């Protein structure tokens, strides 16, 4: 079992670009598996554009993998997304983890940009077909309701031979989408107890498509704070989460010590999840950095002891 710990950002918490790069360098050097950026085009709070951020990571890092969590294809041109992903994968020498979804109906983009939400699932399905075909075919003809292509091609293509496609969402349509195109699945706000039946449904739908998804290609994420729940940073973050999502913050936050965070990870692993995206709470250059350092120093050893990495096989 390959259990891996990644770090993620939704809002941009840093006071300076230097603070952001210090955080990236820490994740690169201290053993994080991957970095993830939430997709948001319209916001009143600072949020990095995910594709641009990943391109910057490709030049800054040498070991880390990275992905978008998750990009809403109903808001983007699929040919451009296919080209962006291929470019980033080439320049990072195969470290991109593309992840796609339809976007939350509560996201501000729909109203701000005048985009119809009822068609976002159909648009996403067409976009996924366009993107995946452009990654593997020399010439793509496509005549859909939302997109039309004639002898389209991109070059260079991704360097990863089996380019991963992570899919987000837990609806029946998202499960079908994962079964058809996905090589992995990323949970949203689902608690550990809610994940197991979703994974069972994905496996059944994937088998019906004549496909399989590796058992260690299922992911989940949550916000974390190593410390006292009474800290103002925690109360502020939880209140913002509740206002934005209408959900109980306990679903999306783990607050306490390393054992509390590890316990939530164990609960997800028991449900079938092995890949994690944890987002530090706090603002400024120092607080997210300190929280991330404590996570990597205190939680990673617990994970390594519980789920040792399998030995690398010698080259054939």
* Confidence band for 314, pLDDT divided at 50, 70 and 90: low
Chain centre distance of CA 263: 21
Residues 6+ apart with CB under 8 A from 82: 130, 131, 134, 135, 154
pLDDT for res 299: 98
Report which secondary-structure segment, H or E, holds 219.
strand 218-226
Average pLDDT of the chain, as a whole number: 95
Interval 117-138 mean pLDDT: 96
Decide if 103 contacts 169 (C-beta within 8 A): no
Cα distances from 125 to residues 121, 173, 178, in angstroms, run 6, 10, 10
Instruction: Reply yes or no on whether the pLDDT at 310 is more than 90.
Output: no
Chain position carrying tokens 């994962």: 178
**Phi-psi group of 81: left, alpha or beta (phi > 0 → left; psi -120 to 50 → alpha; rest → beta):** alpha
* Confidence band for 316, pLDDT divided at 50, 70 and 90: low
pLDDT for res 105: 81
Both ends of the chain: CA-CA distance in Å?
Answer: 22
Which residues is 7 bridged to in the sheet?
Answer: 35, 278
Domain 4-73+90-111+168-306, CATH among 3.90.1150.10, 3.30.70.20, 3.20.20.30, 2.70.70.10? 3.20.20.30
Instruction: Reply yes or no on whether the pLDDT at 278 is more than 80.
Output: yes
d(CA 23, CA 14): 9
Burial 180-195, CB ≥16 within 10 A → b, else e? bbbbbbbbbbbbbeeb
Chain position carrying tokens 């837990």: 170
Residues 6+ apart with CB under 8 A from 232: none
Instruction: Reply yes or no on whether the pLDDT at 81 is more than 90.
Output: yes
> pTM score, two decimals?
0.94
Largest Cα separation within the chain, whole Å, is 59
pLDDT for res 104: 82
CA-derived radius of gyration, the chain: 19
Decide if 159 contacts 136 (C-beta within 8 A): no
- Residue 272 DSSP code: T
Lowest mean pLDDT across 53-67, 81-95, 224-238, 262-276 = 224-238
Q: What is the dihedral of CA 308, 309, 311, 316, to 10 degrees?
A: 160
The tens digit of pLDDT for each residue in 5-54 reads 999 999 999 999 999 999 999 999 999 999 999 999 999 999 999 999 99
Report helix angle 287-306 to 258-271, nearest 10.
50
DSSP 76-113: S-HHHHHHHHHHHHHHTTS-EE-EEE---TT-THHHHH
């Amino acid at each position: 079992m390959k259990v891996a710990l990644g770090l993620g950002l939704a809002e941009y918490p840093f006071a300076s670009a230097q603070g952001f790069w210090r955080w990236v360098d820490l994740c690169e050097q201290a053993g994080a598996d991957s970095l993830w950026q939430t997709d948001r085009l319209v916001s009143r709070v600072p949020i990095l554009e995910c594709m641009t951020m990943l391109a910057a990571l490709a030049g800054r890092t040498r070991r880390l993998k990275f992905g978008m969590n998750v990009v809403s294809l109903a808001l983007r041109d699929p040919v451009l997304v296919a080209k962006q992903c291929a470019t980033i994968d080439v320049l990072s020498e195969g470290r991109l983890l593309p992840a796609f979804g339809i976007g939350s109906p509560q996201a501000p983009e729909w109203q701000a940009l005048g985009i119809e939400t009822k068609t976002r699932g159909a648009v996403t399905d067409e976009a996924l077909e366009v993107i995946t075909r452009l990654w593997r075919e020399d010439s793509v003809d496509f005549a859909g309701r939302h997109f039309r292509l004639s002898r389209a091609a991109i070059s260079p293509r991704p360097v990863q031979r089996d380019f991963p496609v992570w899919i987000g969402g837990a609806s029946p349509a998202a499960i079908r989408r994962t079964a058809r195109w996905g090589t992995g699945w990323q949970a949203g706000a689902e608690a550990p107890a809610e994940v197991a039946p979703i994974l069972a449904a994905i496996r059944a739908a994937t088998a019906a498509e004549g496909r399989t998804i590796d058992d260690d290609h299922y992911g989940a994420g949550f916000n974390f704070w190593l410390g006292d729940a009474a800290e103002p940073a925690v109360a502020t973050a939880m209140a913002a989460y509740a206002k934005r999502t209408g959900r109980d913050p306990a679903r999306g936050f783990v607050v306490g010590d390393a054992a509390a965070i590890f316990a939530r990870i164990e609960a997800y692993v028991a449900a079938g999840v092995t890949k994690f995206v944890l987002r530090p709470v706090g603002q400024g250059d120092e607080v997210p950095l300190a929280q991330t350092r404590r996570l990597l120093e205190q939680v990673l050893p617990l994970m390594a002891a519980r789920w040792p990495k399998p030995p690398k096989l010698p080259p054939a």
